[in-house]
Chains A and B, each alone.
Chain A
């Protein structure tokens, strides 16, 4: 499906709210995907309640309590006829006359409008917040995770003390396990996702650069930008400096503090990741 780059989406103000009766508690931090399609005006809640009751008695068995399909009956929410229905004018005849594999129901026009209002109260497109409960992602083996940590991460990190690289108390700072997993995999990552998200809990050191000019002078600082033609840095005082690049002159050395994390990506098994997370959630 068509995608623009996620970092672009992340910049946009997203205002659309979920509609429909959430079958499970909503997760407040979830950003719904923008949808350009008109939302149905909210129906009278009393109508939806009556519709829900009538639907529960007559329709749930075949079409499911959430109208997404049940024993034999198709998903109604994305069905062509339902999507083109306004307030029962298309649904009604099907209910009253039946279809192949579906019996007739003797219902009054107001009952049909109620049922239509109930079916239309579910969100159709995009990411349905009501259906994104956060199942616990912690499934790993903490002991195996501890061993993996000792073998792989302990070169730079400990779980005690206050020295640089210490992750002491990480699980208290980062209480959402998914955010914790993203954070230890790649500090600062995950923010382009649509899922539940804590604010970036770990300060990531900036990428730095050292530029050595032809006459041997060195300039070091935070990398502002680099392409094949220019490199720009900000020195300790925040002053920006741009250098023209011409092949290997000046010499440009980029220090990406996340490089050790990036170098590990190709070597992980998913089990390793889950184990390390199961271990780190215990480091409170």
Chain B
């Protein structure tokens, strides 16, 4: 046992994140949600290339378990230390079961991996998968739908919890430094977003399935105190956008939750993110007559002040709970013969949008799911205008896509080498039945019964952002399914890595979709990532409760 204690001084000699790393293009480390601030999920690493990718082999695998009874648990027997925090009993986990499902992006800093599930965080040795510590938060409750990962500032980690706390942990030991509430638990907020650290701001967002204000907040990394709050809907008389709501109360409680991280442009100091749908989600009470700004929009705010620089609303007055939360991808490139700084975004609603990221000027709208049928027209600003006949109706309205959407939170990716945008796509239909006929509408997600009809197929789809045309599509074999894979990685070897519908992690030629390698860890639950350590390029992916790391031997 003694030798265990000897390890500790080494551990404590402190992995810390050099802030300069965050503004560099993605290569050896993975210091923030998307790897770097651009959201591209494009790694400069080239050790794994088109020729040798077929030789990828398992370096290690590690299984973790939610909750206090994790194996080892710091008891005699040499397990990793278990650190317990929280303000609740840990019993109410929201009907999503006790299973461990790693949906997070995993940080890799100085040879240590940091990741999370709802109420849990771990540090794992990136070389061999050994668990260094496990932090467990005893929850008061809240929807335990997923946790998208941790943020890091210096030697501190930040985690959101389903019961709406921001928890600061010591990266070296997993010990808690402080926790601060970031939303009103009694109003049924739940928090899942990976905090994004920019300079001395920790950006947080929350979710809510009732009717409550959606917002983004900056917090002080040392104290957790609020620096600024940006509400995604008007909150008082005189606020811009109020004219796009029927009443002030409707606007105030109009949601537009921000539950997936945005991207950041260091040149303009703009934090650019997607907002959720308006609430009530499926019904049309007078209180939300209008376009419902700034829901279902791309929004750019100055990171030091929280003041909005521009917005672009893709989906005015959404009625299908199709958030626009998907992480925007920032790309510099040519568009119609001009160099442009752009935002690329594939939406749950089945459309792909390109916007100028300095001004919010619309550049392109195109449909990427062929079956989508809810749009009546695309207006001069490129906004997709809904066909009210495709709202939920009593007798049922056949709508594509289903509520999950043509795509969803699993991250898309971009490769500057191919100029292509890669996105998981599903072509689905559902019947949307209205069950609430009260003119006051329903609350939150209520008032409808959505029943799945069929999926016509799921795809890995490559879009040429210059035209919006599909460059290639890889259809997953089978008779349908939806939500395949859980996100995408691209690398400088023109490789694309993505999970498929059958539990495989697959490497494709990014230019044409040709399959180059695969392995089957089982239901892939996050987006693949890569990092470089001791001369090895690793490919890392999570499947449920386990991490799988591959390399070239």
Determine if B433 and A137 form an interchain contact, defined as CB atoms under 8 angstroms apart: yes
- Determine the residue in chain B with the shortest Cβ distance to A84: B186
Neighbouring A residues of B145 by C-beta, 8 Å: 2-4
Judged by a CB distance under 8 angstroms, whether A75 is at the interface is: yes
Given contacts A137-B433, A228-B504, A258-B454, contact A1 B398 (CB under 8 A): no
Given contacts A190-B452, A192-B452, contact A124 B393 (CB under 8 A): no
Report the minimal beta-carbon distance from B143 to chain A, rounded to whole angstroms. Answer: 5
Find B93's partner among A36, A80, A229, A258 (CB 8 Å cutoff).
Answer: A36
Judged by a CB distance under 8 angstroms, whether B384 is at the interface is: no
Using a CB-CB cutoff of 8 Å, which residues 1-38 of chain A contact chain B? 1-6, 12, 14-16, 33-38
Contact with A along B38-74 (1 / 0, CB 8 A): 0000000000000000000000000000000000000
- Determine the residue in chain B with the shortest Cβ distance to A66: B438
CA distance A216 to B377 in the complex (A): 51
Determine if A131 and B209 form an interchain contact, defined as CB atoms under 8 angstroms apart: no
Determine if A125 and B249 form an interchain contact, defined as CB atoms under 8 angstroms apart: no
Judged by a CB distance under 8 angstroms, whether A240 is at the interface is: no
Determine if A192 and B451 form an interchain contact, defined as CB atoms under 8 angstroms apart: yes
- Determine the residue in chain A with the shortest Cβ distance to B515: A228
Neighbouring A residues of B429 by C-beta, 8 Å: 265
Neighbouring B residues of A126 by C-beta, 8 Å: 209, 444-446
Q: Size class of A's contact patch? A: 35 or more
Determine if B449 and A69 form an interchain contact, defined as CB atoms under 8 angstroms apart: no
CA distance A131 to B441 in the complex (A): 11
CA distance A274 to B257 in the complex (A): 35
Judged by a CB distance under 8 angstroms, whether B178 is at the interface is: no
- Determine the residue in chain A with the shortest Cβ distance to B209: A1
Determine if A38 and B141 form an interchain contact, defined as CB atoms under 8 angstroms apart: yes
Judged by a CB distance under 8 angstroms, whether B263 is at the interface is: no
- Determine the residue in chain B with the shortest Cβ distance to A227: B502
Given contacts A36-B143, A190-B431, A265-B429, contact A69 B440 (CB under 8 A): yes
CA distance A214 to B434 in the complex (A): 53
Determine if A2 and B398 form an interchain contact, defined as CB atoms under 8 angstroms apart: no
Interface hit among A44-52, A106-114, A166-174, A179-187: A179-187
Judged by a CB distance under 8 angstroms, whether B229 is at the interface is: no
- Determine the residue in chain A with the shortest Cβ distance to B426: A5
CA distance A77 to B280 in the complex (A): 14
Judged by a CB distance under 8 angstroms, whether A207 is at the interface is: yes
Judged by a CB distance under 8 angstroms, whether B173 is at the interface is: no
Using a CB-CB cutoff of 8 Å, which residues 441-471 of chain B contact chain A? 442-447, 449-454, 456
Interface size on B, residues (CB 8 A): 88
Judged by a CB distance under 8 angstroms, whether A138 is at the interface is: yes
Find B442's partner among A34, A35, A131 (CB 8 Å cutoff).
Answer: A131
Neighbouring B residues of A5 by C-beta, 8 Å: 404, 482-483
Contact with A along B92-104 (1 / 0, CB 8 A): 1111110000000
Determine if B431 and A181 form an interchain contact, defined as CB atoms under 8 angstroms apart: yes
CA distance A93 to B490 in the complex (A): 59
Neighbouring A residues of B289 by C-beta, 8 Å: none
Judged by a CB distance under 8 angstroms, whether B553 is at the interface is: no
Find B394's partner among A3, A14, A135, A182 (CB 8 Å cutoff).
Answer: A135
Report the minimal beta-carbon distance from B31 to chain A, rounded to whole angstroms. Answer: 25
Determine if A1 and B207 form an interchain contact, defined as CB atoms under 8 angstroms apart: yes
Find B210's partner among A34, A125, A189, A274 (CB 8 Å cutoff).
Answer: A125
Q: Which 7 A-B pairs have the closest CB atoms?
A: A34-B95, A36-B94, A195-B449, A193-B451, A227-B502, A190-B451, A192-B452
Give the B-binding residues of A (Cβ under 8 A): 1-6, 12, 14-16, 33-38, 64, 68-69, 74-75, 77-78, 80, 83-84, 124-128, 131-140, 178, 181-182, 185-186, 189-196, 207, 223, 225-229, 231, 252, 254, 256, 258, 261-262, 265-266, 268, 270, 273-274, 277
Q: A2-B209, A36-B144 are in contact. List 17 more A-B contacts (CB 8 A).
A: A1-B208, A1-B209, A1-B255, A6-B403, A37-B143, A38-B92, A78-B212, A126-B446, A137-B394, A140-B395, A178-B451, A182-B453, A185-B398, A195-B433, A270-B395, A270-B397, A277-B395
